[in-house]
Amino acid sequence: MGEFVRVETAEGIATIRLDRPKMNALNRQVQEEIAACARQVDADPGVHAVVLYGGERVFAAGADIKEMADMSYADMAAHSAVLQDCFTAVAEIGKPVIAAVTGYALGGGCELALCADIRIAGESARLGQPEILLGIIPGAGGTQRLPRLVGPARAKDLIFTGRHVPAAEALQIGLVDRVVPDADVYTEALAYAATFAGGPALALRAAKQAVDRGLEVDLNSGLEMERLQFSALFATEDAKIGMRAFAEKSQAKFTGR
C-alpha cells in the first residue's frame, strides 16, 4: 500500500487505484508504487482479474512535468529504465487487466492504459500522447504499444500531432474497446472483471502470454508458443475439471491448479 497508489480487493477482483490529487501525475514515486502494486496482484492467487482506475474525474494526466523539467540526459537515461519497468510490470500481470478510463489519459496516463488488456472509457474521456508538444516523444511504451494496438499510421498521427482523442474516435480506431456513460465506467469495468472470477487462472495466464508474446515474433514462432502453452495445460487440474464438466453438462468449478 503506497501513499498514492493502493490495491483494493473484493470477490477476486483487485483494483489498482491511483490517488494523487489532483490529476494523478505520474512522478517517480507513483511509478514505483504502480509497479509494486502490479507485482502484488500478479502474485496473489486470490486475485483473478485487475482493474486500473484513477477515480471519477481523471485516469492519469501524464508524467510529472515539473519533476522532469530539470532532468539532464544522464538523469533521464537512468530514470527511463525505471519508468518503463513500471509499465512493463503492469503489462506482465498474468491475469485479465481492464483500464477504467475517466477524464484524461494523456502521455504516461495513455501509456498506462495501453498496458491493460481491455480499455473501457467514459463518454467524455480524452486520450493521447502529447509529448511532442514538449519537444520529446513518449518514453513509457507509447511508440511501441500504441502502433501494435491501432496500427502504425494512426499511431504516428497521434504521436506526431500530440492531439487529444475523444472517446468516440478512440473507440473507432481501437484505442479503447467500449465507451459508456462517465458515471458507469468503474462499475462496467468491475462487471467485466467479475466474469473472470473463479475462471481457469492458469489457462487465462497462458492465453495472455501466448497473445502478447506471439505479437513480438514471426507467425511460425508464435504458433510454436501456442502449441507449447496449449499442451502444457493438459497437465493442469483445471483442464480435467473443465472437460469433465463439459462431458457431464455441469458447471466447472476451477481450482487454479
3 state SS for 40-67? HHHHCCCCCEEEEECCCCCCECCECHHH
Amino acid at 189: A
Catalytic site includes residue 131: yes
Backbone dihedral angles phi then psi of residue 242, each to the nearest 5 degrees: -65, -45
C-alpha 52/C-alpha 61 separation (Å) is 14
Residue from 33, 56, 92, 131 carrying the catalytic annotation:
131
C-alpha 129/C-alpha 143 separation (Å) is 9
C-alpha 237/C-alpha 248 separation (Å) is 16
Cβ proximity of 62 and 20 under 8 Å: no
Using the structure block, give the residue that is written with the C-alpha cell 510529472: 64
Catalytic site includes residue 111: yes
Residue from 11, 111, 169, 216 carrying the catalytic annotation:
111
C-alpha 188/C-alpha 226 separation (Å) is 31
**Residues with catalytic function:** 111, 131
